[in-house]
Structure 1
Amino acid sequence: MKCSRCIYWLGVKIVEKCIQNSAEFFVVGAKEKVPVSRTIIPVTWRKPPEGRAKLNIDGSALGNLGVTGGGGLICDHNGDWIARFSRALGSINSTIAKLWALRDGLTLAKELCLNSLIVEMDALSVVQLMSNNTINMLMEPLLSNCRNLLQAIPNKRIEHAYHEANQCADALAKMGTNSNFTFVVFVEPPPMVGTLLAFDKANMFCNRLINSNT
């Protein structure tokens, strides 16, 4: 009888040890990182097809809920800009700043009677918001305003672009953060933006490191 009890408790200890070892193996295994494969790709701003225009927009925030601005530009199929703008926005988050920039750009496109427009921005979350009917009360009525303006354009497409292909809009948005005016439409390109515009028009590219596992 005593021997049977010893065997029983020995079996219990063996099971407990197996469970402990399995748990340790799982924890160690969970800490192992899957190797990330990265590759370099060339990124360039692409001219729209003939007969279409392209609107690039961006928002800029100097710190969380700091000074923000929005800006963007509309270019034709030759890479020449049709309209360019920036806006000072005060203390809001970057997503709202990008929606303001989108609203301004779409308003200008409407005033210019542009019926065929490609919209690009480097904020995938905003692209997704504009591509569905999700209700977001924190962004109303601005979000609905943008959707209505986009809907009014007969031939349109909204796309995500890497930051390297959106540098002119980024520069105009940054100008908005430092502007003393609420809204500015530029007659001539500011020097820095003019340089970036020439870079885009010449089809030059920047290298970007991406995760090739996705």
Structure 2
Amino acid sequence: MLGWIKVNTDGAVCRSSRKASCGGIIRDNYGNWIKGFVSNLGYASVLSAEIWGIYHGLVTAWNLGFRKVELKSDSSQAIKMIQMLREAGSNLRPLQHKISCLLASDWEVKATHIPRNATGCANTIAKHSLASSIGFNMLDNHPSVVVSVMLRDANNSIIHDPAG
């Protein structure tokens, strides 16, 4: 549907070092790259990395001026948390509070759990960012490591009317 963008996010944690990162990709309703992001988080749990990815994806979409967002993650636990934040009170952890405030802004966000095999680009970017320096980095162009994954994912990323 025109006007909607898709934000795919993922978190990654190295099994041996326990270092965590997250990444994501923002695409238009035809599956074309708009922006991406990576963030090396230091040490974190898998769920925390997933939630940080969602936060960064939402902030990036908001800052780019998008007001109709289809957020997708392969973490059913993170998506359930996002859906519960809409009704949550004020007893939230700081990151959850930030996400809750974002969701309360003047925009439409549809959060959906998708299978792991449908998050190829976000997964590749998140894993690749494990080797980057700590902090958040915006990606204006897609990294070469995701070119083949983008082509495969683009065929499955055309956004349909969330109401339909």
TM-score normalized by the length of structure 1: 0.67
Counterpart position of 1:122: 74
Q: Quick one: percent identity of the two aligned structures?
A: 25
**CA-to-aligned-CA distance 1:34-58 (integer Å, 9 cap, x gap):** xxxxxxxxxxxxxxx2221010001
Structure 1 CA distance for aligned equivalents of residues 22 and 97 of structure 2: 18
Counterpart position of 2:37: 85
- Where structure 2 has 5 or more consecutive residues not aligned to the other structure, the ranges are 158-164
CA pair 169-113 structure 1, distance change in 2 beyond 3 A:
same
Structure 1 CA distance for aligned equivalents of residues 82 and 11 of structure 2: 16
1:1-150 to 2 correspondences below 5 Å: 49-63=1-15, 66-132=18-84, 133=87, 140-150=93-103
**CA-to-aligned-CA distance 1:154-175 (integer Å, 9 cap, x gap):** 2220000001111111111112
Structure 1 CA distance for aligned equivalents of residues 88 and 17 of structure 2: 24
Residue 184 of structure 1 deviates from its aligned partner by 1.4
Counterpart position of 1:207: none
- Which region of structure 1 is more displaced relative to structure 2, 144-153 or 161-170? 144-153
TM-score normalized by the length of structure 2: 0.86
- Backbone CA RMSD of aligned residues: 2.1
| Number of equivalenced pairs | 155
CA pair 123-84 structure 1, distance change in 2 beyond 3 A:
same
1:89–1:182 CA contact under 8 A, matched in 2: yes
Give the letter for the 1:95 counterpart: L
Residue 64 of structure 1 deviates from its aligned partner by 7.6
- Where structure 1 has 5 or more consecutive residues not aligned to the other structure, the ranges are 1-48, 205-214
Q: From 145, 151, 156, give the equivalent of 2:104.
A: 151
Counterpart position of 1:22: none
Structure 2 CA distance for aligned equivalents of residues 97 and 135 of structure 1: 23
Kindly indicate whether residue 148 of structure 2 is the aligned counterpart of residue 195 of structure 1. Answer: yes
Q: From 148, 173, 176, give the equivalent of 2:126.
A: 173
Counterpart position of 1:8: none
